[in-house]
Structure 1
């Protein structure tokens, strides 16, 4: 996995994790139609809604997002999500290789609370993701309500 730990990807990952930078998501794409080299394809500050508009339906991509949500009226929580995107138009061989190649990406983007496997934008509903994050975090001050 030659591209998963490139300096550009590492810098973008650090930016998403930083409390001092506005960047809250990144997308990693395959450099070519064949092969496992990965490149940083975009970053942004507009949250999950913006990230969804940048995912390519013809590709397999990896995204990492910072999700901030209120625990209660007194506190906020920040969690990180790894998204494995396989667009509907992704070629069959690429789809088959993602399960193998995603291991290196998971290592490079190691600090995440949940992984979301997404095939369309409906799989990236922020309310559902926050519900999953609350369950994964153990403490739920809303009695299970999103």
Structure 2
């Protein structure tokens, strides 16, 4: 069981969800390589929020991210969706890898509202175009597919 009781996590989640706060992403990391306690590592704001989050990830860590992604539907409309990122770097030890899948359920109890979950093992998995493509597929109707692939 992951310890996600730190009130800073809930506060950061609320800020990312709020339309009145500029925060667009948050990052959770383990306290130490053997700890089950997750702490808020960083928050950020910006137009390329998914790529800003990706820049903070490390190949030797397992991390959880929560991101507000804004993308254009057509010339006059935009959508904002939330994405849960479960990142397991390529150099993460076997026991930590195994625990992340169990801990994800505890994280989802705190970071509970999102459109898609992205499981990533490299920063390339979090390119904005790839994530937006997944959001479009999950979002249903796409009437102008040729312009938005």
Q: TM-score range by the shorter chain?
A: over 0.9
Distance 1:35 1:2 in 2: 9
Matches within 5 A, 1:68-83: 68-83=70-85
93-102 vs 48-57, greater mean Cα deviation: 48-57
Gaps of 5+ in 2: none
TM-score by length of 1: 0.94
Report the secondary structure of 1:39's partner residue.
strand
Gaps of 5+ in 1: none
Does the aligned pair in 2 maintain the 1:63–1:82 contact within 8 Å? yes
Give the RMSD, CA atoms, in angstroms. 1.4
56-65 vs 135-144, greater mean Cα deviation: 135-144
Q: Deviations over 1:35-90 (max 9, x none)?
A: 31110001111312211111121110000000001111221110000000001111
Distance 1:5 1:117 in 2: 23
Does the aligned pair in 2 maintain the 1:71–1:142 contact within 8 Å? no
- 2:64 equivalent in structure 1: 62
Does the aligned pair in 1 maintain the 2:2–2:103 contact within 8 Å? no
- 2:128 equivalent in structure 1: 126
| Change beyond 3 A, Cα 1:21–1:141 | farther
Report the secondary structure of 1:71's partner residue.
strand
Distance 2:129 2:28 in 1: 24
Matches within 5 A, 1:40-55: 40-46=40-46, 47-55=49-57
Does the aligned pair in 1 maintain the 2:2–2:106 contact within 8 Å? no
Distance 2:3 2:29 in 1: 9
Residue 141 (structure 1) shift = 3.7
Report the secondary structure of 1:102's partner residue.
helix
TM-score by length of 2: 0.92
